[in-house]
Amino acid sequence: MFHIFFYVAALQKAARNNDVEVVYFLLLKEKEINKVLFEMNVNLKQIVIPSSVTSIGYGAFYECSSLTQISIPSSVSSIGNYAFSECSKLTKIKIPSSVTSIGKYCF
């Protein structure tokens, strides 16, 4: 359990520092991006999601007000409610055809 705390802390710190490469590396083992990891991060400007991720969960990037672009791989099949809600600067997002479910108020 202790190592999970350090993993989440490292991921949140990398996101706060807008370190795209470290965030990508740390997400390689994840299947879902959930609310705990990025919610309300005002420093995150862009993110590249690795192909290991199959789901973007509820509120995953909620209120990431500096996020301008995101790359979603074809491995993702669902995007949860409020996933990108209140991301006021998000101007570029490509949703692959593999996404079969998009939640309420996603954008």
Nearest alpha-carbon partner for 35 in 91, 87, 84: 84
Res. 86 pLDDT band, cuts 50 70 90: very high
Res. 1 pLDDT band, cuts 50 70 90: very low
In this predicted structure, the answer to whether residue 19 has a pLDDT above a threshold of 50 is yes
Instruction: Extract the tokens encoding 85.
Output: 């809600």
Helix residue ranges per DSSP H, 1-107: 2-16, 20-27, 35-38
Q: 101 in helix, strand or coil? A: strand
pLDDT recorded at residue 33 = 75
pLDDT recorded at residue 2 = 38
In this predicted structure, the answer to whether residue 79 has a pLDDT above a threshold of 90 is yes
pLDDT recorded at residue 5 = 47
In this predicted structure, the answer to whether residue 35 has a pLDDT above a threshold of 50 is yes
Q: Which amino acid is at 101?
A: S
